[in-house]
Amino acid sequence: MEWYWLPEYAPRFVEGIWLTLQLLVLAMFFGMAIAIPVGLVQVTGPRPLAWLAKSFTTLIRGTPLLVQIWLVYYGLGSLFPSIPGLRESFLWPILRDAFPYAVFALTLSVAGYEGEIMRGAFRSVPNGELEAARAMGMSRFTILRRIWLPRALQNVFPTLTGEFILTLKATPLVSTITIYEAFGIGTIVRQETYRIYEPLLLLAAIYAFLTLILVVIFRYFENRIPKRAL
């Protein structure tokens, strides 16, 4: 095993890990923000919106993330030349850089998978609690804010930990669209030094370590959620 290349590339790995974390947090944040309405509308209705939400989750969960990423980046990118004036518009800096596409694709992915989980979570809140809140005179939005959403999130918290980690493991795929997060830097090292195992082992260690940290953080929060006495 040769590790002579490590000091030279260490700063770039740090940058890459930071990029990975940025992608992870942004995708989870925006993804959950979309997932909550997607899950909710399938339980409450109206029917057309519920059908739309269902199609969305089926589409996202039925296709590989890599296909989604390439479709968004290269597929949409191939439409650009046919839109006049695009390059002078204010959108151009966003459309030109690869990072927004990565966040977008990962967000949609999180929204699709979490939407399905939130659907189950909303359904799992006991009807009795919702009825009691209604009987007390709470408006529908207040019920959602005070009872339904918090209870749904509590029920589903352990699963969310797993999903966070799955999203972390999905971030390497964005290295295929010129984003140099941790895996991308590892690829550069593999190509410039021709070492086969060492960069991959370092990457495995990095991701295992990040996973460990995430699990510890989530376990801390999980212990703070009040559990049912029964």
Partner 1 sequence: MEQALEYLAFSPPGWGGNLLRGLASTLQIALGAYALGLCLGLFGALGKIYGGPVTRWGLEIYTTLIRAVPELVLILLLYYAGTDLLNTALESFGYERIDISGLWAGIYVIGFVQGAYSTEVFRAAFQAVPTGQIEAARAIGMSSFKSHTRVVIPAMIPFAIPGLANLWLITTKDTALLAVVGFSELLLETKQAAGGTKSYLLFYSAAAVLYLLVTLCSNVIFGQIERHYRRGQPAQT
Partner 2 sequence: MKKFLTVLAGTAAALSMSAQLAFADIKVGIAAEAYPPFAEKAADGSWKGWEVEIIGAVCAAMKENCEIVPVAWDGIIPALLAKKMDVIMASMSITEERQKTIAFSDKYYNTPAVIVASKGASISGDPASVKGKIVGVQVSTIHANYVEKHFGDADAKSYNTFDEHNQDLVAGRVDAVVGDSLAMEPFLSSDAGKGFEIKGELNDVAVFGPGVGGGMRKEDTDLAAKLNAAIKQIREDGTYEKISKKYFSFDIYGG
Binds 208, which of partner 2, partner 1, none (CB < 5 to 8 A, cut-off by type)?
partner 1
Minimum distance, C-beta of residue 122 to partner 1, in the bound complex (Å): 16
The reply on whether position 80 binds partner 2 by CB under 8 A is yes
Q: Which of 103, 165, 185, 189 is in the footprint of partner 1 by CB under 8 A? A: 165
- DSSP letters, 3-22, are -TTHHHHHHHHHHHHHHHHH
Burial of 62 (0-12, 13-18, 19+ CB in 10 A): exposed
Identify the CA nearest to 24 among candidates 182, 144, 139: 182
The reply on whether position 51 binds partner 1 by CB under 8 A is no
Q: Which of 34, 35, 65, 110 is in the footprint of partner 1 by CB under 8 A? A: 65
Residue placing its CB nearer to partner 2 in the complex, 93 or 226: 93
Burial of 209 (0-12, 13-18, 19+ CB in 10 A): exposed
**Is residue 117 a contact partner of residue 37, using CB atoms and an 8 Å limit?**
no
Binding site for partner 2 (CB under 8 A): 74, 77-78, 80-81, 86-87, 92, 96-98, 176, 178, 187-188, 190-192, 194, 196
